[in-house]
Amino acid sequence: MERSAIRTRRRLRLPGLLERLLGRPADPAAPPAGRRSNPDAVVDCAVYVNGRREPGRPHYADAYARSRRNRRSFVWLGLHDPGAAVMAAVGRTFGLDELSVEQALADGHRPTVQQHGNVTLLVLRTAGYVEHTELTETSEVIDTGDVMVFLGDRFVITVRHGASGALTSVREEIQRRPGVLAEGPWAVAYAVCARMVDLYLEVAGHLEKDLERVEESVFARDRSADIQQIYQLKREVVEFKRAVLPLPAPLRTLIEQRAGGPPPALHRWFVDVEGRLTRAVDRIAAYDDLLNSILQSRLAQLAVDQNNDMRKIAAWAAIAATQTAVAGIYGMNFTHMPELGWRYGYPAALLVMALAGLTLYRLFRRSGWL
C-alpha cells in the first residue's frame, strides 16, 4: 500500500519536473507565458531600455516582469476605454490601489495631480475639433475626453477615454528621441502633456476661424447669424474652457515638486509645455470674451430691430388713423351735413384723405420711422 502511494506521488511530481526542465507548462492545452495576448483594450505595450524600445509587443505582465530586472528600463502600457475586469487585472499586476482602478474606469475627470502611495496620477483632458460645413444650433464643434497617466518606478500606464486625443503619434514621436525617453516614465508624461497642449492650440486655431465667420455674419448688412447658433458656439467654448483652464495649476505643481516628481533633466521641458499652455489659456479666455461681446451685440441688434419694427407699425397706424377719422366723420350721414348734398363732396373727401396720408408718410419718412 505504501509503495503504491509513493509511486503515485512520483507520478504527480513528474509534470512539475518536466515543466522546470523544459521551461514550459506540462499541460499542452495551456499557452506558454511568453505567448499570452493582450486584451482588446490594450492599444500598445512595450519595454524601453535606455530610451529604446525592445522588439515585440509582450503581454503587459511579462513586460512588467522584464522591466523590473533592469534598473534602466520601464514598461509603457496604453489602454483605451478598458473594462472593469481588464482594469482590475492591470491593477493587480502593477500594484495599483482600488481607488486608482475606480478612477481609471470613470471619465469626465477634472485635470489634476494625485499621489497614491508610490504611484503618481496625472489627469488630463483631451480635445478635438469636429469639422462642420456650417454652424447650426446643434453643431458639435469640440469633442472632449480624458487621459489618465499612472506613473510608477518602472512603469507608466495611460488610460484614454473618448475618441479624441489618440496617443499613437505621441509614442512614435517620443521613440525618436531616445535621449529624452531614457529619463524613464516621466518622459512619457511630458510627451503626453505636450501632445495635449498642442491639441489645445490646434483646436483654438480652428475656433478662431469659426469666430471670424460668426462675427462677419453678425455685423453684415443682412445679419444672417442666428442667436441660437452663437449660443451653441458659446457652449462649445465653455466645454473647451473646462478642459484647458484647470490644467495650469497641476502642471505648476509638477514643476515645483521636488520629491517624486519629474527628474531635473525634464524640468525645462515641462516649463516649455507650461509656456505653451499659457498661450492656449490666454487665447481661449480671449475667445470667450469675444463671444460674449458678439452675443451682446446680437442681442442689442435684435432690440434695435424690434424698436424699428414698432416705430414702423406705429407710423402706419397713424396714417391709417387719419383715413379712418375722415371716413368716420363723413360716414355719420347726419341730416344737416352740407357736404352730403355737395356735388364734389365725395372726391373732396378722398383728396383730403390722400393728402393727409401722404403728408404723414413724408414726415415719418424724414424722421426715420419709415
User: What is the average pLDDT value for the chain, to the nearest integer?
Assistant: 83
- Report which residue type is found at 352: V
**Domain spans in the chain, listed from the N-terminal domain onward:** 1-30, 33-303, 305-367
The interaxial angle of helices 267-330 and 345-367, nearest 10 deg, is 160
pLDDT in tens, 249-297: 999 998 888 777 889 999 999 999 999 999 999 999 998 888 888 888 8
C-alpha dihedral sign at 42, 177, 152, 193: negative
Q: Which three cell numbers stand for residue 200?
A: 489645445
The pLDDT assigned to 182 comes to: 93
Higher pLDDT: 214 or 159? It is: 159
Cell 516614465, located at residue: 185
Q: Is 62 helix (H, G, I), strand (E, B) or coil?
A: helix
The interaxial angle of helices 248-256 and 267-330, nearest 10 deg, is 170
**How many Cβ atoms are within 10 Å of 147's Cβ, its own excluded?**
28
pLDDT beyond 80 at 11: no
Q: Where does residue 297 fall: left (phi above 0), alpha (psi -120 to 50 degrees), or beta otherwise?
A: alpha
pLDDT in tens, 146-158: 999 999 989 999 9
Which residues have CB under 8 Å from 154's CB, separation 6+? Answer: 64, 67, 68, 73, 74, 75, 185
- Report which residue type is found at 144: T
The interaxial angle of helices 185-219 and 267-330, nearest 10 deg, is 20
Q: Which fold has domain 33-303?
A: Beta Polymerase; domain 2 (3.30.460)
Q: Which three cell numbers stand for residue 162?
A: 473618448
Cell 472593469, located at residue: 84
Higher pLDDT: 11 or 329? It is: 329
69-75 average pLDDT score: 91
pLDDT in tens, 77-121: 999 999 999 999 999 999 999 999 999 998 888 999 998 888 999
Q: Which three cell numbers stand for residue 12?
A: 504527480
Q: Is 113 helix (H, G, I), strand (E, B) or coil?
A: strand
C-alpha dihedral sign at 147, 148, 151, 157: negative
Which residues have CB under 8 Å from 358's CB, separation 6+? Answer: none
pTM, full prediction: 0.74
Query: Is 214:135 a contact under the CB 8 Å cutoff?
Result: yes
CATH class of residue range 305-367: mainly alpha
| CA pair distance 188, 194, nearest whole angstrom | 10
Q: Which three cell numbers stand for residue 102?
A: 475606480
Q: Which helix (H) or strand (E) covers residue 196, if one does?
A: helix 185-219
Q: Which three cell numbers stand for residue 307?
A: 424698436
Q: Could you tell me which of 74, 76, 20, 322 has the C-alpha nearest to residue 191? A: 76
Query: Residue 225: pLDDT band by 50, 70, 90 thresholds?
Result: low
Query: Is 138:151 a contact under the CB 8 Å cutoff?
Result: no
Q: Which three cell numbers stand for residue 280?
A: 492656449
CA atoms lying within 13 Å on the CB side of residue 339 = 14
